Amino acid sequence: MSTNTLRLMAVHAHPDDESSKGAATLARYAAEGVDVLVCTCTGGERGDVLNPAMDRPGVLENMAEIRRAEMAEAAAILGVGHRWLGFVDSGLPGEGEPLPEGCFAVQDLEVAAAPLVAAVREFRPHVILTYDETGGYPHPDHIMTHRVSVEAFEAAGDPGRYPGAGEPWQPLKLYYMVSFSREWFSAIHEGLLARGLESPLADVITEDWFEGMPELTTTTRITCDDYFETRDRAIKAHATQIDPEGPWFATPRDLEREIWPTEDYQLARSHVETELPETDLFAGLREPRELPELPELPELRELRA
Mean pLDDT, rounded, for 172-190: 91
pLDDT at 287 over 90: no
| pLDDT-above-90 percentage for the chain | 71
Q: Which residues does 68 contact at the CB level (< 8 Å), separation at least 6?
A: 15, 43, 84
Per-residue pLDDT of 188-205, as tens digits, reads 999 999 999 988 887 777
Q: Is 82 annotated as a binding residue?
A: no
CA distances from 286 to 5, 6, 7, 170, 282 (A): 10, 8, 11, 17, 6
Read off the pTM. Answer: 0.90
Percent above pLDDT 70 for the chain: 90
Instruction: Give the chain's largest Cα–Cα span.
Output: 61
The torsion of the CA quartet 274, 39, 77, 69, rounded to 10 degrees, works out to: -170
- Confidence at residue 294, expressed as pLDDT on a 0 to 100 scale: 37
How do the domains of the chain map onto residue ranges? 7-179+216-283
Architecture field, domain 7-179+216-283: 3-Layer(aba) Sandwich (3.40)
d(CA 267, CA 288): 21
Nearest in space to 167 (alpha carbons), one of 128, 123, 125, 121: 121
Q: How confident is the model at residue 296 (pLDDT cuts 50, 70, 90)?
A: very low
Is pLDDT at 231 greater than 60 in this prediction?
yes
pLDDT higher than 80, residue 186: yes
Lowest mean pLDDT among 153-162, 197-206, 267-276, 278-287: 197-206
pLDDT digits (tens, 9 = 90+) for 24-52: 999 999 999 999 999 999 999 998 888 88
Q: Check the annotation: does 48 bind a ligand.
A: no
Q: Is the pLDDT of residue 2 over 80?
A: no
Instruction: Check whether 142 is labelled as a binding-site residue.
Output: yes
Chain mean pLDDT for the chain: 89
